[in-house]
Structure 1
């Protein structure tokens, strides 16, 4: 029997969150709502230019692992940090909520990754990420028995930027499928899709993926479609279960049998959308691990996403399990 419900593979990143305005984004030539990779010099420059900041552990797949753990799932995370102050902070924050994290820290080389998350008054986030130690993730960091022990191996698309990480993912996919378990991928970002469109579509078509997470923009990019409807038609042809988020419009659960729309949970005020997709995936996967149907999984995902957008930062601040119980989604 699997010992984990979810094993998440992703970039181990510490988020540095700061509130800003449209003028700052224009002055720094930053494309609003996107994630750009930067070098260490640019990271230092941005840190000097931003105002007061909140420092919290982040990383897309790590956020998902944390959210799922808070919903009662048994989760683990694979990602690379340096043995430095931020690396130790990252490891502590995972273990404090019960996420298994055993990837050896790098003793030398680039520092632990950090992402500068600039939040505008409308809650939209613009990310500039220095990957640092993340790029050192390699196949030997993925224990085959760990991947085989998880009901679902969940991978963030951002990892596809590093060739060694690609091999680590393929190792995890082979181990998971060899044990009869499932593999899920989140597309992460439209620009990530632009870089690896053909490879992601190959993963869908060669059976590497059982579940695909995407937002509407990412899905349109994946299929180079003129509309979301056209992109959904392409997704329905795949063997994988598709889960498509549409911000305030909720989510779509897509399979060859049909498409089910699930409304979003209402919130009084959106403060910061950082981590909304990550927490949606957390709730959906936690529900899937409990045997929920697609609609209930999407409702649990929507509930987790609604919590995280009401405050600064990509990790929940309320008791997600209590919220789930209130909505009849605790299982």
Structure 2
């Protein structure tokens, strides 16, 4: 079984400002804002929703195929993923553009200033879901607008079950377009803020969404997750982390667990627990792809937390 994960592969440049932004920004002068922050600490991480989900699914022993468009600078990311045995045959390089990248500056209060350059992601429509054989499940994640619409339609036309994960891309779509995504999808996954925004944009309440999909999944950070199905709703408590280092990418780790559990045809409580434990293991490490374990190690953690093995 292969999971086709449509979305961004990106570089995240993360910088730390050893002070507070508010000490250097004059509220009455924001209309002529011109500031510079010295950032002595900086790291560059591999990221992007499709990249993060693929990485986490591979840790579980899954067979992810990330699909996206990248730029001339993708070389280090390619080398890294090829070393992990992740199939990059559906990642297209646009030579005249850069790979998507986020530049994130964080201050001592954990406030963030972020600039995101979409680069080659804006041409994600040049890839086609229908060109990929042997796909058992798909995911349509944050990506270029046209690419997301195309990927969703092609999954539906092919009869491949897929997850709609709008994430940060939700503002790109109006209510009618979001309703079309939901009608085509088998599963919808959002965080609690995105859930409220999705309902506001579509004019559909929770029951309206649930009636159109197999499951409507809402992640709630340290509070766990809620999984609504047409038959029943499940409140899934969080897994226990040993330490909290960096929550960035926890949602993507959860989604990898969701895909893995659906592929294995587990019950919804087990699927939710897999997702929550993936998020907990991620939060213990900085960045989005620095946690290391294999399925046997994950299964042992799962048994310790929930009392049974997968």
Q: Same fold (TM over 0.5)?
A: yes
- 1:77 is aligned to 66
2:270 and 2:88 map into 1 onto residues whose CA distance is: 29
* Unmatched 5+ stretches in structure 2: 27-34
- 2:53 is aligned to 64
Partner of residue 103 from structure 2, selected from 116, 130, 155:
116
- Measured at CA, do residues 123 and 276 of structure 1 come closer, stay the same or move farther in structure 2, by a change above 3 Å? farther
Partner of residue 105 from structure 1, selected from 93, 106, 130:
93
- 1:138 is aligned to 125
The answer to whether the Cα contact below 8 Å between 2:164 and 2:182 also exists between their aligned partners in 1 is no
- 1:151 is aligned to 136
2:241 maps to 1:262: no
The answer to whether the Cα contact below 8 Å between 1:307 and 1:318 also exists between their aligned partners in 2 is no
2:170 maps to 1:193: yes
Alpha-carbon shift at residue 278 of structure 1 (Å): 0.3
Alpha-carbon shift at residue 82 of structure 1 (Å): 1.5
TM-score of the aligned structures, taking structure 2 as reference length: 0.84
2:193 maps to 1:217: yes
- Measured at CA, do residues 297 and 122 of structure 1 come closer, stay the same or move farther in structure 2, by a change above 3 Å? farther
Moved over 3 A (4+): 19-22, 25-29, 48-51, 117-127, 230-235, 328-331
Alpha-carbon shift at residue 237 of structure 1 (Å): 3.0
Partner of residue 151 from structure 2, selected from 139, 157, 169:
169
Residue-by-residue CA offset, 1:216-260 (whole Å, 9 max, x unaligned): 0000011129xxxx9534433333411110011100111111210
TM-score of the aligned structures, taking structure 1 as reference length: 0.79
The answer to whether the Cα contact below 8 Å between 2:219 and 2:225 also exists between their aligned partners in 1 is yes
- 1:318 is aligned to 292
Q: Which has the larger radius of gyration?
A: 2
- Measured at CA, do residues 301 and 28 of structure 1 come closer, stay the same or move farther in structure 2, by a change above 3 Å? farther
2:226 and 2:212 map into 1 onto residues whose CA distance is: 15
The answer to whether the Cα contact below 8 Å between 1:12 and 1:79 also exists between their aligned partners in 2 is yes
The answer to whether the Cα contact below 8 Å between 1:58 and 1:315 also exists between their aligned partners in 2 is yes
* Unmatched 5+ stretches in structure 1: 30-44
- Measured at CA, do residues 245 and 127 of structure 1 come closer, stay the same or move farther in structure 2, by a change above 3 Å? farther
- 2:82 is aligned to 95
- Measured at CA, do residues 145 and 195 of structure 1 come closer, stay the same or move farther in structure 2, by a change above 3 Å? closer
1:255 and 1:75 map into 2 onto residues whose CA distance is: 25
Residue-by-residue CA offset, 1:104-124 (whole Å, 9 max, x unaligned): 31222x212211234556778
Alpha-carbon shift at residue 26 of structure 1 (Å): 8.4
The answer to whether the Cα contact below 8 Å between 2:250 and 2:288 also exists between their aligned partners in 1 is yes
The answer to whether the Cα contact below 8 Å between 1:300 and 1:324 also exists between their aligned partners in 2 is no
1:202 and 1:24 map into 2 onto residues whose CA distance is: 41
- 2:222 is aligned to 248
2:243 and 2:235 map into 1 onto residues whose CA distance is: 23
The answer to whether the Cα contact below 8 Å between 1:201 and 1:222 also exists between their aligned partners in 2 is no
Alpha-carbon shift at residue 53 of structure 1 (Å): 1.5
- 2:163 is aligned to 184
1:92 and 1:124 map into 2 onto residues whose CA distance is: 33
Alpha-carbon shift at residue 168 of structure 1 (Å): 3.9
